[in-house]
């Protein structure tokens, strides 16, 4: 299942691979695939990955991979991440 998700041309499938069995071992490959995307497609795929990583208790691992691959995510272009950021600032 995981290999099929990673082989898919749909970026959302790649993000979903983190939910497949052993997805935590493939975070580097998942982030590496998403890094190659451009614009809104990239922002959306990374937002999906961040949200899905929380379901598996892996946000710290995903964050580490993103930081070490020098991925820049502009939260101002993603309404979900922007809302979460604003809510966190208010607290």
- 2 versus 26: the higher-pLDDT residue is 26
At residue 54, the pLDDT reads 92
**CA-to-CA dists, residue 4 to 9, 13, 88, angstroms:** 10, 9, 36
Mean pLDDT (whole number) for 39-47: 88
Mean pLDDT of 33-41: 88
Instruction: Please tell me whether residue 84 adopts helix, strand or coil conformation.
Output: helix
pLDDT at 57 over 80: yes
Global pTM value: 0.73
CA separation for the pair 73, 77 (Å, rounded): 9
Q: What percent of the chain has pLDDT above 90?
A: 25
Rounded percentage of the chain residues whose pLDDT exceeds 70 = 92
Instruction: Please tell me the predicted confidence (pLDDT) of residue 49.
Output: 93
Average pLDDT, stretch 62-69?
Answer: 84
pLDDT at 2: 58
């Amino acid at each position: 299942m995981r290999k099929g998700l990673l082989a898919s041309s749909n970026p959302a499938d790649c993000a979903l691979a983190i939910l497949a069995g052993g997805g935590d071992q493939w975070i580097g490959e998942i982030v590496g695939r998403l890094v190659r995307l451009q614009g809104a497609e990239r922002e959306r795929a990374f937002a999906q990955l961040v949200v899905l990583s929380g379901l598996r208790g892996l946000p710290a691992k995903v964050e580490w991979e993103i930081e070490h691959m020098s991925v820049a995510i502009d939260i101002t272009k993603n309404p979900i991440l922007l809302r979460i950021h604003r809510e966190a600032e208010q607290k």
